[in-house]
Amino acid sequence: MRTLLYMLLTLLTGTLVFAQNWSGQTSGTSHQLRGLHIIDVLTGWACGDAGTLMNTTDGGATWMQITVTGVDLHEVVFRDAITGVVVGDGGTIFRTTDGGRNWTSVNSATVSQLRGADWGSGGVVWAAGRDGAVVRSTDAGASWTALNTGVTTRFLAVAAIGTDSAWVVGRDGAVLHTSNGGLNWTSQANPATGNIQDVQFLDAATGFACGSNSLVMHTADGGQNWVSRASGIAAGQNGLFFVDNSNGRSVGDGGSIYVTNNGGLNWVAEPSGTTHALNDVYFPDQSNGWIVGNFGTILHKGNPTGLSKNDYSPVTSLNLEQNYPNPFNPQTTISFNLNERSNVRLDVFNIIGQRVRRLVNRTLNPGQYRFTFHAGDLPGGVYFYRLDTGKNRFDKQMLLIK
């Protein structure tokens, strides 16, 4: 009876999770969006055709277009909030070391179209693409070396672990693996009957890949054995992302979105609200995710937030600033700086010490943050707001005038 009850609760819980809706965000472009990298619940990057490169610092409420080139861009990846690369046609690689404020073109050591990129450990980053091209950097993308894969396959994605291991996937079921920094490559047999569009490894053993003909496959031994895990998948898949060994999403043709909570053994369809092809998906945590696709499609799942972040300026100290404007009616901006990753609570209290709002309750990376506080439903008077990181606490006073 307990086992049956547990199974029913699991099913009900899963159904409730799956039922959460995806909502569209305004991208400001009609171009095909191909690549996506989300740094945290506020900060993310997307790229696509005709040099489309865009950034959000407020959870996707606004996406800012950044012009670096006119060629199609296929993948954008960041090592952290500061250092990233974007790759595209003609061997294009642009690099940033200041959180995307400036992008510099670097010599990629190839003229082939680059379709995928991924960071390994430290300064190691890989890119792969057409004509069997694979290039690798060991200095965080400043310089690149072309590697000989021994094939002319069009690679579509790459996944990296550590400094020396990488997997490239592509047309006609191609999977190649290196364990020595690209000096030697081994072809890996797999159940794919078409193109493999995306690949992700969580560690040196556990990997997932997806592709055409409703493909999702899994390996538990570094690719020595790939097995199909496509139960419930009914469309070609273009991108996938797992937050851990169990929980993942896969997206693809016809606006298809699938979710699993058992490592891909079973997949359940989620409504997307679009029929446009979806190309990439990224979840920075269990609750918040983004998807990009054709015709400038951006979808988001998660809780909206009034928090925004500035990644462009380095932060050396922890502090809470005076709200502005003050006095205010009905909204004001509360700013604070974090010099280390912290579990942050930002609360508002009335004059007698009762908490009237919890504005922020989450783990945040270092940076400059601003929260737009709306107090239209509160009575006028003196309020206090508190920043608590677990290690430090700051309090300030503000005045709501009505």
| pLDDT score for 40 | 85
| pLDDT score for 358 | 87
Per-residue pLDDT at 313 exceeds 80? no
Per-residue pLDDT at 334 exceeds 80? yes
CATH class of this structure's domain 313-400? mainly beta
| pLDDT score for 14 | 36
Confidence of residue 291 (pLDDT cuts 50, 70, 90): very high
Identify the weakest region by mean pLDDT among 15-19, 134-138, 177-181, 372-376.
15-19
Which CATH architecture does the domain made up of 22-301 adopt? 7 Propeller (2.130)
| pLDDT score for 310 | 82
Q: Average pLDDT, stretch 43-65?
A: 95
Per-residue pLDDT at 213 exceeds 60? yes
| pLDDT score for 7 | 35
| pLDDT score for 212 | 98
Q: Average pLDDT, stretch 298-326?
A: 88
Segment 120-174, tens digit of pLDDT: 999 999 999 999 999 999 999 999 999 999 999 999 999 999 999 999 999 999 9
Segment 354-388, tens digit of pLDDT: 998 889 988 898 999 999 998 987 899 999 999 99
Q: CA 61, CA 304: separation in Å to the nearest integer? A: 8
Residue 230 sits at the vertex; the CA angle it makes with 224 and 234, to the nearest 5 degrees, is 145
Same fold across 22-301 and 313-400: no
Confidence of residue 33 (pLDDT cuts 50, 70, 90): very high
| pLDDT score for 235 | 98
Confidence of residue 314 (pLDDT cuts 50, 70, 90): confident
178, 186 in Cβ contact below 8 A? yes
What are the domain boundaries of the chain?
22-301, 313-400
| pLDDT score for 41 | 84
Confidence of residue 287 (pLDDT cuts 50, 70, 90): confident
| pLDDT score for 82 | 87
Give the rounded percent of residues in the chain with a pLDDT score beyond 70. Answer: 94
| pLDDT score for 20 | 54
Mean pLDDT of the chain: 93
For residue 279, give the nearest of 246, 321, 237, 248 by alpha carbon. 237
Per-residue pLDDT at 8 exceeds 80? no
Confidence of residue 57 (pLDDT cuts 50, 70, 90): confident
Confidence of residue 42 (pLDDT cuts 50, 70, 90): confident
